[in-house]
Amino acid sequence: MRGGVISLRAPFAKPLTPALSPPAGRGRGAGAASERASSQKREEMALPPGRNSRMRGSNNASASPPMLPYAIAAAIVAAAALLSGLIGGERNTIILGLVGVGLAWSAFRGTVISPFLRVFLVIFSAEFVLTGLAFLIGKAGFWPDALQAVTIPFELPLTVGLFGILIYAISFIPVVRTIAGLADPYFADTNTKAETLPLLGFVRERRLAWGLVIALVVLNQLQVGISVRLSFFNRDWFNALQNKDQEAFWNLLLTVFLFWAMIAVVSNLIEYFIENVLKIRWREDLVERYSGSWLGKGAHYRMGFSGGADNPDQRIAEDTRGFINSTYAFSISLISTLSNLVSFSIILWSIPAQFTIPGTDIVVPGLPFLVAFFYSVIGTWLTHLIGKPLIKLDFNQEKYEADFRYTLARLREFGEQVALLDGEKAERQHIGQRFQSVVSNYYGLIRQNLKLNTFVSSYFQASVVFPFVIMAPAYFAGKLTLGQLTQTAGAFGRVEGAMQWFIARYQSLANYKAIVDRLTTFGDAIAAAEKLRDQSNIMLPSQPAKDLTIPALSLAVPNGDTIVSVQDLTLKSGQSTLVTGPSGSGKSTLFRAISGIWPFGSGQILVPDGKSVMLLPQRPYIPIGTLREAVQYPGLAGDHPDSEIEAALQAARLPKLVGRLDEERLWSQVLSLGEQQRLAVARAILSKPDWLFLDEATAALDEQTEAAIYGVIREKLPDTTIVSIGHRSTLIAMHDRRLELRPGAEGIFAVVDVSRAEGGKARGKKEAKVKAK
């Protein structure tokens, strides 16, 4: 069902058989299990992950690039490090070998983790191999003399190796699995999208995604390296100031600072471009997947029955953007933060001075690092305790905001009805109630943020003086130069800042968690709607006959109560049929079942093979856009020439709309309900379905216009079988047959063919008149 009009004839409507039913002998119930299994693989990555499918695509062992070469290379470097360490008795090299063994195992097992996280595992595995080999070459004395200034320290391969192991380890944490499951489809092999791009030529989207992430990680690591180099520049520069060494001052400024500052600026510009290209392409893919799954096979319609997620528009429009921005920030920035932590921790540990606890003579090795570490750990723990309620508050705030926007949008859509009923007072009350939820929850956010900001602000203010308090005694004792003092203070700030990553971003993390929860529940709702479809016992197998046959069918409402029972009903091709009955008897439900969107009930509907069907409801859906698009819906603009569209509008008694095809208006408010119904008839004239179901589709027309419209349908669609629902007695003469839904035992309605009885009565009256004469 697409916006109230079901059209299954190409290009407007797909063939009835594949769209409404599986091959003969199968259905949407248990009999369709084998078809669902075969189609599941085709559709798997089109479904946004929910709680039951969040690792979908993560266990794809064939995902590119393959992990085995990285595992083998890491194992070779690890073996070389272990051998070198054991022969030379060097503990650091042995530790590096053991880390390499762990990384090789992680890379070997990398095919079982998320494709998104696998990108980072590939990066760190490759970096470990390169830096590890460089370290071993330098240690063996084969490092070129020309590169002695850039020898690889032991800590570098050790750090990237530990990062790779960490990526593998965190991939099994439930919240990380949830986040990665939402990100995976864009990076998995099942993403087969490809296109030709400037400079790159023909490229697959998945490979482009991998390349962009790898480039961003490498750029961030380069920027960390530049920061480390500038840290040593800062030390030497301040020492030059302290020693009043003018030559060293200007030499450092012109040869060191300008060079690395220029590289930093260029790398930032490149990062900005790549980052935004990745974000918009990733969002395009995610929106396409969510909207495709939401609109696919009537999931958006069935979500109302399965307790679907609220405000799907917000989840597709806002939450996808927020998810990608936050995922990028927290993944790439976290790696950069960890790199800063390791790099500047090494600097802190390498300071030659012996630090003592202030006010004592107790020497503590690595005291600046230890102070930064424990200070940050305590601050992180307190931040979490204070800020934890923000997660639920952020989730509710987005929900209340979306509900408020929806209320206002719905009022705009039904403005005429509200005005006619003088309902403005009631609407103001509804709007006020919705907005009051926004206000109340917002005050809760204010209160909680005040608590958190009070602590965080105090924490950061206190951290400004901490490094100087710790290092001042050593400086005043002459153990540190001014350059070493400033470098140590800067390194302390970097380490502390890295350790404070969680504190500084707690509010963002809380909002991020709320976004992930909303997308996950949206995926769950779509999955539940699809499950509802798959578990339906209403089967629609095809048959070679031209007629539509219902051997036995029971239709129920969502709570399980049966409302309609149909036995041995045949709708003959070419015979127009009118379905009547009291309101609530299940007439529209029967039409929905025939169209394939009603999931509640059991039985069979044998549909004619290769035929198409179109259903016109009482209130048509009119999309926002030009009149040309509205008339051709659900087809696309350009499917029909303007001459055909104008002829269809003329036939549907809408001559005043001819010539306005290019106007873009909110046509659902511009046109009256009767005009909207006639526009829907124009759609049918264009699409020429084999079967046309009219669900009170002319109820807003006067009897004369209604008769004229039925005449037009018969004239323009001579090969179309018409089945109507209506209450007017004038409709009886416009159809060849009449079916009536009458209540039976336990209030269940049954279909009765009353056209035969009416035909017999008409013949009896005619014979009686003849005898009387």
Q: What is the pLDDT of residues 660-698, one digit of tens each?
A: 988 888 888 888 899 999 999 999 999 999 999 999 999
- Tell me the two tokens of residue 257: 């600072």
d(CA 180, CA 55): 7
How far is residue 101 from each of residues 84, 125, 138, 409, measured CA to CA in Å? 14, 11, 21, 59
Please state, as a whole number, how many other Cβ atoms lie within 10 Å of the Cβ of residue 362: 10
User: H-helix or E-strand containing 604?
Assistant: strand 601-608
Rounded to 10°, the helix 506-534/424-463 angle is 130
Q: Are 659 and 600 in contact (CB under 8 A)?
A: no
Tokens 């017999």 identify what position? 760
Phi, psi at 143, each rounded to 5°: -75, 135
The model's pTM is 0.64
d(CA 327, CA 306): 30
Question: Among 545, 575, 577, which Cα is nearest to 719's?
Answer: 575
Tokens 């979490």 identify what position? 384
DSSP state, residue 564: E
∠ Cα 408 412 416 (to 5°): 135
pLDDT of residue 378: 78
pLDDT of residue 78: 94
Q: Tell me the β-bridge partners of 721.
A: 691
Q: Are 600 and 560 in contact (CB under 8 A)?
A: yes
d(CA 3, CA 69): 51
Q: What is the mean pLDDT of each run of 10 residues along the chain (773 residues)?
A: 34 32 35 38 42 39 64 94 90 91 93 88 90 88 71 78 89 88 85 80 85 87 80 82 85 86 90 90 88 79 70 79 85 72 66 62 67 74 80 81 81 70 78 87 88 80 72 74 73 68 66 83 83 82 88 89 91 93 89 88 89 89 86 83 92 92 85 92 92 92 93 93 91 92 87 70 44 44
The type of residue at 501 is W
pLDDT of residue 308: 58
Rounded to 10°, the helix 367-387/424-463 angle is 160
Question: Among 212, 298, 280, 357, which Cα is nearest to 596's?
Answer: 298
d(CA 593, CA 193): 35
Strands 577-580 and 542-543: unpaired
How far is residue 211 from each of residues 89, 106, 160, 278, measured CA to CA in Å? 40, 21, 19, 10
Q: Tell me the β-bridge partners of 580.
A: 740
d(CA 398, CA 321): 14
Distance of CA 103 to the CA centre of its chain: 32
Q: Are 260 and 230 in contact (CB under 8 A)?
A: yes
How far is residue 398 from each of residues 168, 394, 566, 755, measured CA to CA in Å? 33, 6, 46, 56
Q: What number of CA atoms fall less than 13 Å from residue 726's CA on the CB side?
A: 27
d(CA 586, CA 645): 34
pLDDT of residue 734: 92
pLDDT of residue 576: 93
d(CA 6, CA 595): 7
Q: Are 620 and 672 in contact (CB under 8 A)?
A: no
pLDDT of residue 55: 35
d(CA 492, CA 475): 15
Tokens 């540190």 identify what position? 480
Mean pLDDT of the chain: 79
Q: Tell me the β-bridge partners of 749.
A: 564, 743
User: H-helix or E-strand containing 129?
Assistant: helix 115-139
pLDDT of residue 35: 38
DSSP state, residue 753: E
Strands 737-743 and 749-753: antiparallel
d(CA 689, CA 624): 24
Tokens 């153990």 identify what position? 479
How far is residue 355 from each of residues 52, 345, 499, measured CA to CA in Å? 54, 15, 21
User: For residue range 561-604, what is the model confidence (pLDDT) as tens digits?
Assistant: 899 999 999 999 999 999 999 988 889 999 989 988 888 889 99
